[in-house]
Chains A and B, each alone.
Chain A
Amino acid sequence: MNNADIKVLFGTTAPQVYPQQPFADVTVDFFDAWSKAIRQDKQAKLYPDIIAFAFWIRKANLEKMKGKNGILHTRIGRGMVFHIAPSNVAINFAYTFAFGLLTGNANIVRVSSKHFLQTEIVCRILKEVVVRDSFHWVEERNGIVQYGRKQEEWSQKFSGICNMRIIWGGDRTVQEIRKYPLMPRSNEITFADRYSFAILSAEAVLDLPAQEKRRLAEGFYNDTYLMDQNACSSPHLVCWLGQETAVQKAKDLFWEAVYEVSKKYDLANMKVSEKYTLVCEYAAKSKVSAIKNYENYLYVAELKDLPKDISDMRGKYGLFFEYAIHGIPEVLKRVTAKVQTCAVFGIREGEVAEMLLEYPAQGIDRIVPIGRTLDMDIVWDGHDLIRELSRCISYGK
C-alpha cells in the first residue's frame, strides 16, 4: 500500500471512530453551516446539483427528516462507514457522505478517479467551514479520498476496518468490491443496477392547461434525458391508464411536449447511432409493433405486450416504450425485484403503494411524481439508511 496512490481531498485516511446519535445537534449544526457556506459560494452557485444538495442539508430539512423518523434516541451510529461513490453522478458522493455522518458515523468516502469540478468545489467549501467554524471533529472522523480502480489495496484496507460498507455503481462494481472481506459483524448496503418506469393517467394529462403540460414534460425530461436515461431511477416504459380514445390523445399531447423540451438535449451523433440501432433491434425481435419518432430526439416504441419482466425494455438517450393498461395491477404483475422507481402522474402515490403492499410484488421501492425521480433521499432503493447505518440499544422492560 502506497500513500502516493491515494489523494486525500478532505480529512484523514485513519478516521477516529466516535459514534453519535443520528441527527445529533452538533452534527445538524455542522451541516447547516456547510449548507450556508455552499449557498453563499459564487462558484457553487453555478451548479444546480450542488445547490440542491445544500438545500437538502440545511437545518430546516434535517429537522423535518428527524421529526418524520420517530424515536431515534435509542439509536447510535455503527462506527465507521466505507463508501464507494459512483463515478457518473458527481454530487452523489456528498449525499452518501451526509447519510453516514448524519447517522452518527465516521466515514471514508472513496470518490471516482474521474475529475469533477463539483467534487472539488464541495470539498473546498467543506474544508473552509471546518476551519472557519472550528468543526475540527469533522476532519478527524472523516476522509474523502480518491484512488484508482486498480489500487485495490485501499479498498481492501477500508473494507477490513469498516463497520458498514456502502457500494454505489452497479452490478459489476458490487461484484468487484465484494472480493474484499468485511469484519464478521460488519454489513453492507449495495446499490446495484435498477430499472424504473412510469404510469400516467391519460385523463389527467388531457386536463392540463398548456403551461402545466410544459412543466410535466420538463419534469419528464429531467428524469430521463438529464442523465442520458441511464440513471437507475430514469423511466424507460410509460404505462398509460385510461379509456382508449383518451389514451390516444394524451399520448400525442405528452410526447409532443416532451419533444419540444428535448430539443435542448445534446444529441451527439453516436447517441443517435446507438439509439437507432437499439430500437431496430427491439423491432427485429418482435418486441414493438410501431415506432414513432420526433426527429431523432425522441423515439417512442409501442409494445405488443407487456413482457413478463418489464425491466427487459430498456431505452437510452430518449427511447421510450409505451403500453396502455386497464388497471395498475396489470403492470404490477410484471414487476420484478429489479424495478426501483415508479414515477406517476395523475395517480395518487399512496394508491400504488397500497396496491403494492397488498399485492406481493418484489419490486418498486419508491413511488414519486414525474419530475422527482432523481431526488436523493435518506430512504433510497428500499433502504432506510437512518436505521441501517445505526444500531439500536434495547434496555429495560
Chain B
Amino acid sequence: MAFADFLEVSPYILGKEQKQRMLLNRFQELTEIHRKNCEEYSKILTAWNILDSFSSIYEVPFLPVRLFKELELKSIKDEEIFKTMTSSGTTGQAVSKIYLDRATSVNQQKALVKIVSAFTGKGRLPMLIIDSPSVVKDRAMFSARGAGILGFSILASDRKYALDENMQLDLDRVKEFLEKHKGKRFLLFGFTFMIWQYFYKELRKIPKCIDLSGGILIHGGGWKKLTNEAVEPQEFKGCLKEVCGLEDIHDYYGMVEQTGAIYMQCECGHLHASIFSDVIVRNMKDFSTCSVGEPGVIQVLSTIPESYPGHSILTEDEGILLGEDDCPCGRKGKYFKVLGRIKNAEVRGCSDTYE
C-alpha cells in the first residue's frame, strides 16, 4: 500500500479494524523497504530473528529513538539526500540525524497539512510564528525548531514572526499583522517553552494590549522546561486566555524522527493518532503492550518514512493510552496522554566516579 492511499482518507475517520488493516499493510511494506536498503536495520532485524511477515502492527519491530543519535541510519544513497534534519539537543549532547529524500520530505508536508487542516479547516490562513526568523536561517541543517516552523509555514497564506532576531517580542509587527487580518481567523504557531518565555511573559507586563481571540494556537516541543518552572498545561492555557484572549489552543506531540505525522490535541485535551500514524504503549519489563489506562513507554509508528528506517520507534517518553475510537470529540483512532520523559536512572558501579 503506497503512502498516497493514506492521503485519500480523512485523517480521523477510520475505525480500528479498517485502520489496522491499512497500517499493517503499509508497515509490512516499509519494514521490507528498509530491510532491503538499510544495512544496519537489516542486521538488527536478523540479530533479533525478526520474521518477514507480521499478523498485526504490534509485531512490527521498533528501533530505540536513541539509535538515530548513535548511528547514521538511511535507506537511500548519499546522492539522494535532500535534507538532513537534526533534533534540538542542548550543546554537548548527541543529536538525531534524520536523512530525507525528496519524496519523504514532500510526504511529511502533505501529512502535516491533512492533519492540521482537520482542526483549522481547509484553505490557508495567515500565520503568526511565535519565534525568531533566525531559527530558520541555516537551511543546510534543519533543527527540530526550524523544521517545525518551516513545516507549518506551508499552511500559511501570510506569515510573520512575532519575535525579532534577539528573541524580543516585536509588538508593532504583531499589531500590524492583526490589523491587516482583522476579522479573519488566523493561526499562531510556536514551541511551548518559547511561547511562555518570550511571548506570554512579555504580554503579562501589558495585559490586553492585543486581542488574539480570533486565533488558533498550535504549539509543541514538550513540557519539560515548563515543568521545571512548575507550569501545568491547564495553567498555560488559562494564562494565555487572560493576557490576550486566546482560547483555541492545541498542543501537539511529535518528534523530528517522525516529522509530519504529529499527534494533535483535541478539544477534550487528548492527543490523537491520525490515519498516518499509530501509538502503542509498552511495558518496559518485557515490551508487552499496555492496556488502556496503564502507563508505559510510547512507541510511535508513522506511515511516512521511506528514506530512513524510522517508521517504528520506541521513544523515551512515558504515556498512557486513553482509548480508541471513542473520544468524546468524535475523532476515530487511538487517543493518549504523554506523561513526560523517562527518568534518568541512578547508576551504581565504579567506572569513573569522582564526585
Chain B contributes a number of interface residues (CB within 8 A of A) equal to 36
Tell me, rounded to whole Å, the shortest Cβ–Cβ distance linking B10 to chain A: 35
A172 touches B354 (CB 8 A): yes
One digit per residue, 1 when the CB lies within 8 angstroms of any chain B CB and 0 when it does not, for chain A 256-276 equals 000000000001111111101
CA distance A92 to B353 in the complex (A): 12
A118 at the interface (CB under 8 A from B): no
B137 at the interface (CB under 8 A from A): no
B353 touches A112 (CB 8 A): yes
A229 touches B345 (CB 8 A): no
B48, B347, B351: residue with the most chain A Cβ atoms closer than 10 Å: B351
B43 touches A229 (CB 8 A): no
Using known A-B contacts A86-B354, A92-B350, A232-B351, determine if residue A269 contacts B343 with beta carbons closer than 8 Å.
yes
A273 touches B297 (CB 8 A): yes
Using known A-B contacts A230-B347, A281-B71, A296-B287, determine if residue A170 contacts B352 with beta carbons closer than 8 Å.
yes
CA distance A42 to B71 in the complex (A): 52
- Checking B284, B349, B350 against A168 with a beta-carbon cut-off of 8 angstroms, the contacting residue is B350
Using known A-B contacts A267-B284, A295-B286, determine if residue A193 contacts B352 with beta carbons closer than 8 Å.
yes
Q: Which of A60-68, A200-208, A286-294, A356-364 contacts B (4 or more CB under 8 A)?
A: A286-294
Which A residues are CB-close (under 8 A) to B329? none
Using known A-B contacts A268-B345, A273-B64, A280-B44, determine if residue A84 contacts B49 with beta carbons closer than 8 Å.
no
B355 touches A149 (CB 8 A): yes
A173 touches B64 (CB 8 A): no
CA distance A134 to B343 in the complex (A): 48
CA distance A114 to B41 in the complex (A): 41
A276 touches B343 (CB 8 A): no
A169 at the interface (CB under 8 A from B): yes
- Checking A232, A273, A288 against B342 with a beta-carbon cut-off of 8 angstroms, the contacting residue is A273
Could you tell me which A residues sit within 8 Å of B by CB distance? 84, 86-89, 92, 112-114, 149, 168-173, 176-177, 193, 226-232, 234, 267-274, 276-277, 279-281, 283-286, 288-291, 295-297, 301
List 22 A-B residue pairs with CB atoms under 8 Å apart, sorted by A's residue number.
Answer: A88-B350, A89-B348, A112-B354, A149-B354, A170-B350, A170-B351, A170-B353, A172-B352, A172-B354, A173-B354, A231-B349, A234-B349, A270-B343, A270-B344, A280-B64, A283-B44, A283-B48, A284-B41, A284-B73, A288-B47, A291-B49, A296-B284
- Given A172-B354, A177-B354, 17 additional A-B pairs, CB 8 A: A87-B355, A88-B349, A89-B353, A169-B353, A173-B354, A231-B350, A267-B285, A269-B284, A273-B64, A273-B314, A274-B66, A280-B44, A283-B47, A284-B43, A286-B43, A291-B47, A291-B48
